[in-house]
Copies of this chain bind each other. A is one copy, B any other.
């Protein structure tokens, strides 16, 4: 039992399973709720912040346990004459609202026959397809088990953070000239190819959407002095050079900076390596007799048609080269993520080059509302408390703002390409109210974290039945 989000995070980082206990939760607690295995609050009810957010995260939560007397300073909690101290073991049951002292023996949930029947009914009536966001074989396996009909978002940068890879990625970033960068990319190619091959095998027959590198490069570099010394040594460069590169890459507003397809434009060899890894992985898997759906290659942060055309040209050239080298190239589609208002407004022109749009509703919320999710807590909490906004726009799609942008993009995109595939990837896609919006907007699919797939299948059915 811990009493603050910071303690929860620290405990989780130390490998402990923690239950976060709060009088009530607010957006400032999100990182602690992410880190916690369960959440217990003294105030609130089914629709309180704690309950809504925990549900979305797939965390058990007991909210509104009104008899709890929490004293953070003293580090204890009193209820019914019993005092429990910080660090004591609790067990909670999110379904019944029971709280137990000590560790209760638990059984992992099973997908029962009743569950399968209910899901069958839901699947029979829903129109929206349900995919999952997955970057690893494990995530993809979970997604498939819960009935995901494809991967809506594979974030390739997640493959770059593994301990054995981050060094090569840093070597690429620190390269001053293209040949050195290409040498580093050549080392990354087989790693990415292997990752993609694993995903393709798990998702055999289903659509896999792979997003090319998105975050700004400085996210891969260390910033603290002790880390810089360590990384410089490992990378065979000087701390001064590493520090200079980190400073040169520093950005005032990284959310709006040199990221997404802007990286592809300035360092085309990165996207070319990724495209090659995708094609070669698909070929290898197909050679083993696995039937693959055409792979979807997604270009992030497109604002101008010219960006998409340039990068599409490069990817097509890689595909042709793969075909020359291997005798054939797997079937693929190139599309774009819609995170920028400009891309939505301009969807009719961009759809001439894009075979699908995937709405990155988290970033689209940040740009349309001009709100940085990382910086929003100090005012967004107050906005909700004062009734200025009904819902946290990062939980449920803001229907008038972000929703209006999506509707514009859907309408204009379909005008140019009536069969364009449209989906959303982002945690909004797992929120039942947002799913209703996606159904009403006639999107083709929603995609989000694997654990939310069953709820989304149900919500998609409810949205279809509402009509």
Contact = CB atoms under 8 A, between A and B. Distances in A.
A307 B383 CA distance: 9
A252 B252 contact: no
A265 B342 contact: no
Interface stretch (A174-182, A286-294, A374-382, A420-428): A374-382
A252 B389 contact: no
B253 A375 contact: yes
Interface string A368-404: 1111101110110011001111000000001011101
Contacts of A401: 303, 341-342, 345-346
Nearest to A260: B370
A457 B405 CA distance: 35
Given A310-B386, A310-B388, A388-B310, A256 B340 contact: no
A386 B345 contact: no
Interface residues of A, number: 49
Interface string A173-209: 0000000000000000000000000000000000000
Given A251-B375, A252-B254, A368 B388 contact: no
A462 interface: no
A66 interface: no
Contacts of A405: 341, 345
A37 interface: no
A369 B266 contact: no
A280 interface: no
Nearest to A404: B345
Interface in A130-160: none
Contact of A367 (B306, B368, B400): B368
Interface string A274-313: 0000000000000000000000000001011011001000
A382 B252 contact: no
A306 B387 contact: yes
B375 A254 contact: yes
Given A304-B388, A389-B304, A398-B342, A256 B375 contact: yes
A262 interface: yes
A253 B366 CA distance: 10
A346 B400 CA distance: 7
A265 to B, nearest CB: 7
Contacts of A418: none
B310 A366 contact: no
A339 B369 CA distance: 10
Contacts of A303: 369-371, 401
Nearest to A310: B388
A262 B375 CA distance: 12
Nearest to A371: B256
A65 to B, nearest CB: 30
Interface string A309-349: 01000000000000000000000000000011110011001
Contacts of A372: 251-253, 255-257
A175 B387 CA distance: 26
A246 to B, nearest CB: 14
Contacts of A404: 345-346
A211 interface: no
Nearest to A341: B341
Interface string A154-175: 0000000000000000000000
24 contacts: A251-B374, A252-B254, A252-B372, A252-B374, A253-B253, A253-B254, A253-B375, A256-B375, A257-B375, A257-B376, A265-B386, A304-B389, A306-B387, A306-B388, A310-B386, A310-B388, A340-B369, A341-B367, A341-B401, A341-B405, A342-B369, A345-B404, A367-B368, A367-B370
Given A257-B375, A346-B404, 4 more contacts: A252-B372, A256-B371, A306-B387, A367-B370
Which 10 A-B residue pairs are closest in the complex by CB-CB distance? Answer: A342-B401, A256-B372, A253-B372, A257-B375, A341-B341, A252-B374, A340-B370, A306-B388, A251-B375, A253-B255
